[in-house]
Amino acid sequence: MQKKEIIIINLQKFINKRIEKANISCRSFLVTLFGDVISQHGDWVSLASLINVMQYYGFNERSVRTAVFRLTKEDWLIAKKIGRRSYYSYTENARRQFLKAEQRIYSQSIYSCGDQWLIVFPSFVEDKKLVLFKRQLKWLGFSSLTSGAYAHPQCAQETLEETICELGLTDSVITFCAKTLDKNATQVLKNLVLEKWQLEDLAQRYEKFIQIYQPLMDTIKEILQKADCDRDAESRTIHLQHLFQFRVLLIHEYRRILLKDHQLAPSMLPTDWPAKQAVDLVIEIYQALMPSSCLFICQNLSNAEGHLPAAKAAFYRRYQR
């Protein structure tokens, strides 16, 4: 067996192992696929393409159809049928969620720069809307500060206001900006955050992520080189496929950690906080994979017009420093 075949097999084994070990569901992975890929390549994709792509990760056709059906019922996906073929895009609700999330996921900095906090009191939100509102707050990065109060050190005020308006809660939520008055108060707040926001668990997640993905840098670089040089079309397609697979898996696992991050200022964090190392690692890998993964997408995924179009210009601004 040639060395390049061994490298590909090892990478595929790694991907399969991560899907199983990280307990990644077909539904959540589809959300990542739409947010990371389909949103940048024309917004629509055929069901057949989704089934083919998800099979790379070990999800069978039945699992994909079930997940797509549920996401449609949950107002994440919208379908259109042309003849016997089905095509899917994300709903307007999902588009808004993707836009909010991508501001965090594809940013080269996840730290708060100031000392202002946004505080939210959902004081008059009805019980039937409260669960959804809390879910939206969590999606934006808010965490419970005390009973009935949610705080965030960096969330843009307009993003919060947009969410409140979308849910029709403008007359039910109290919001304001605040900051501590002195160093003593700041230290007490830091102690409260350390106690309530499980920063030790978050640090362990970042450290584990680094331990898992850092050793694969050399493998990725070698496959990239072989994909550039390989003259055999079938072999090159396999290289591109694995690089595409790796990109989406990387972002999925990174997203799961990042959306638990509170974006605290460095002064509020423990020493040797591992998030920056994880962010730098993601940026290095993702930017290296951009050209090859996009080539695979445009050659192997389709919509009603044919192959998916080239990525939007905004795609290439991801992680720009």
Taking only the tens place, the pLDDT of each residue in 44-79 is: 999 999 999 999 999 999 999 999 999 999 999 999
| Domain boundaries of the chain, sorted by first residue | 3-95+198-317, 116-178
Residue 147, Cβ density class (10 Å: 0-12 exposed, 13-18 middle, ≥19 buried) = exposed
> Residue 39: which of 284, 318, 277 has the closest Cα?
318
Angle at 208 between CA 20 and CA 97, to 5 degrees: 70
Which segment, 44-53, 93-102, 217-226, is predicted with the most confidence on average?
44-53
Give pLDDT, residue 284: 94
In angstroms, the CA 245 to CA 109 distance is 25
In angstroms, the CA 315 to CA 211 distance is 27
Give pLDDT, residue 43: 96
Taking only the tens place, the pLDDT of each residue in 123-157 is: 899 888 888 888 888 877 788 887 888 888 866 67
Give pLDDT, residue 254: 96
- Asked if residue 184 has pLDDT above 50, the reply is yes
Q: Could you say which of 3.40.1410.10, 1.10.220.110, 1.10.10.10, 3.40.50.300 is the CATH number of the domain covering 3-95+198-317?
A: 1.10.10.10
Largest CA distance in the chain: 68
pLDDT, average across residues 309-321: 90
Taking only the tens place, the pLDDT of each residue in 194-211 is: 777 888 899 999 999 999
Q: What is the DSSP string of 211-267?
A: HHHGGGHHHHHHHHHHHHH---HHHHHHHHHHHHHHHHHHHHHHHHHHTT-----GG
Give the three-state DSSP class for 9.
helix
Lowest average pLDDT, out of 35-39, 116-120, 156-160, goes to 156-160
Calculate the alpha carbon distances from 163 to 134, 146, 259, 300, 308 in Å: 11, 21, 17, 36, 31
Q: Does domain 116-178 have CATH number 3.40.640.10?
A: no
Record the pTM: 0.86
| pLDDT confidence band for 110 (50 / 70 / 90) | low
Give pLDDT, residue 113: 62
**Length in residues, the chain:** 321
